[in-house]
Structure formats: structure tokens, C-alpha cells
Chains A and B, each alone.
Chain A
Amino acid sequence: MKTKHKRTQEEILYDILLIILNKSGRIKRTQLMTKANLSYKLMKNYLEDLVKKEYVDFVKRNEQKYLIITDKGRDFLDNLIKVKCFKETMGLE
């Protein structure tokens, strides 16, 4: 049986930011929770961290609360993508 690899903190952050970006930079929290395959508690912790670092932000549109990725968040995602590619290139992953 194939065992599922446990994601690292870096991989979860990468997944969260990429999911938001792929949804035109705006997503609802519940959608993110499903797509990122995270529990409510875990997602809350990660989002608190991301908001604190100003990588994501909350906005209200049509009475709905959305999560958006900031420019700082996009830059961080770019760096994460580069690091991931670098690790693959050097045979570390």
C-alpha cells in the first residue's frame, strides 16, 4: 500500500498560497480548507501566521469574507517556488 507523505510546514504554506493565487488571488475560507486538505484548527493557525506576516489579508465583498494574497505574499510564493525548483534541481527532493 502506498503511504501518503506528510507535508512539511513549507509545503502547506506553498499549497495555501498557490491555491489562493490560482483562484484569481481571492478565495473563501471554507473553499481553501477543502482544497488545501486542512482541518479548521490547522488552517486557522496557518492563516494567523500568514496574516501576521502580511502575505494574505481578509476583505469583505457582497457580505462575504474573502481571503486575498498580497504583493508580499506573491513575492514569498515566488521565492518558495524557486526554492522548490532549486531543491529538485540539486537532487534534494
Chain B
Amino acid sequence: MMLSIIVAPPWFRGIDCIFEYFGIVVFLLIAFFAYKATRITNDKKTKWLFISFLLIAGSYLIKAFKDLNFYFPVEREVFIGNFHLKYASIAIIQSEVLINAISRILFLLGLVGLYFLITRSEEKRHVFLLVFFTTIVTYISSFIPHLFHLTNVVLLAEISYFYFKKTKLKQPSQKMIMTAFLCLMLSQVLFLTFLSRFYVNAKILELIAFIFFLIAYSLVVFGTKSKK
């Protein structure tokens, strides 16, 4: 039997899922703007950006769904003759390893997609290698969950570095995105500790990252217009 560890403190269970749902909305907004941009300009880069953000949103969606079932399992009652059985629906809990793996691989692939877009690496062999290592990391993370967070830290650090090098943060929206990446990276560092008190801080940092992404999105969508 697999024993699961819930890092979230009891008072915070459910609140973290709300944070994640907020993140999903933000990532979907960005993904659909990237899709719109692809339709207007027929650009491959925006298409890959759409896919990357969609993967990250999908990862959070699966994670939030799993966590909710974990924190608040639905109780069911069954009557067999004179017997009255009461049990918690643990189908989702039992398949935790698989659900975690899917959520992790989606998140890592999303980050790998962003890494390739920002570094402008067009070497197809590198893509193959990174996807291969992503799969390996996901598999090993089932036994050593720290590896998943460590990989995220490395990928987010690389993304932040290349983003800074490329954009030089000339626009306010670029500063927002940079801060968002850094907050996400710091949150992953805190997740690495697997301690309840750091879990709350990590989730708050993640929420701050989502807010920065949303502000950057709003600056682009509502703040730019031609002079009429």
C-alpha cells in the first residue's frame, strides 16, 4: 500500500486549490491570447507558447482536482443485506501515482516548451533529449519527489536568466513576467523542503507569480492600442 503525505496544514487545505484554480484561469488567458496571435500572424512561436501554457494549465488542473479529492474524500454508503458499510471513495487516491505523474510531466513539458522558445534553440535533437529526460525525471519523481521540484528550479532559473538576457526588461510588462518566473522558482525551492510551514509560503509565492502574469497580460491586452 502506498502511503501519501499531505504537506498542506489542515487550515490551508482547499485554499491552496483555490490558488491553483486562479493560476489555471491566468494560464488559460495567456494560452488563448497566444492562440489568437497565432491565428492573426500564423507564427509558429506563438503556437508553441499556446501549447506550453496549455500544458501548464492542464498540470495545475489535474493537481487541484487530485488535491481536493485527497483533502475531502466523498463518503459513500452501501447496504448489503443487514450490513451497512460506510467508506470513502478512494479511487482517485489509489491512482495517486499515475495522476501525479501526468500532472508532473505536463508541467515539465510546459516549462521545456518555454525554455526552447525563450532560448530560441532550434536544434531538434535537443528537444528530443529534453523530452526524454523529462520523462525520466517524472518516473523517478514517483519515488523521489524532490527531483521534480529540483528540476523545476533549474528550468525556471534558466528561463529567467535567458528572459532577462533577451529582453533587458525594457517594458513594465517584461518586468512583471520576470518577477513571475522568479516567484515561481522561489516557490519551487520552498516546495523542496516538504515542510508544512514552507508549503504555505510557497503557495503564496505561487499566487504572487500568477498575479504578476495576470498584470502583464492585462498590460498587453488592455494597455496597447493605436492612436485613433
Q: A residues near B, CB below 8 A?
A: 10, 18, 21, 74, 77-83, 85-92
Beta-carbon contact of A74 and B226 below 8 Å:
yes
- Kindly state the separation between the CA atoms of A28 and B228 in the bound complex, as whole angstroms: 19
B219 to chain A, nearest CB (A): 8
Q: Scan residues 59-92 of chain B and give those whose CB is less than 8 A from a CB of chain A.
A: none
| Least CB separation from A76: chain B residue | B40
A22 to chain B, nearest CB (A): 8
A21: B residues at CB distance < 8 A = 226-228
B contact face: mostly helix, strand, loop, or mixed: helix
- Kindly state the separation between the CA atoms of A83 and B33 in the bound complex, as whole angstroms: 8
Most chain A CB atoms below 10 A, which of B33, B49, B220, B225: B220
Given A74-B226, A81-B224, A81-B225, A87 and B46 contact (CB-CB distance below 8 Å): yes
Q: Which of B118, B167, B216, B224 contacts A82 (CB 8 A)?
A: B224
| Top-7 shortest CB links A-B | A89-B173, A83-B37, A10-B41, A85-B224, A92-B45, A91-B118, A91-B163
A contact face: mostly helix, strand, loop, or mixed: helix
B2: A residues at CB distance < 8 A = none
A to B contact number (C-beta, < 8 Å): 71
Q: Which of A74, A85, A89 contacts B177 (CB 8 A)?
A: A89
Beta-carbon contact of A86 and B177 below 8 Å:
no
Q: Which of B41, B177, B216 contacts A83 (CB 8 A)?
A: B41
Q: Which of A78, A82, A85, A90 contacts B49 (CB 8 A)?
A: A90
Q: Scan residues 162-201 of chain B and give those whose CB is less than 8 A from a CB of chain A.
A: 162-163, 166-167, 171, 173-174, 177
- Kindly state the separation between the CA atoms of A10 and B40 in the bound complex, as whole angstroms: 9
Q: Which of B37, B42, B216 contacts A87 (CB 8 A)?
A: B37
Beta-carbon contact of A77 and B226 below 8 Å:
yes
Judged by a CB distance under 8 angstroms, whether B205 is at the interface is no
Beta-carbon contact of B221 and A82 below 8 Å:
yes
| Least CB separation from A17: chain B residue | B226
A86: B residues at CB distance < 8 A = 33-34, 37, 46, 220-221
Judged by a CB distance under 8 angstroms, whether B93 is at the interface is no
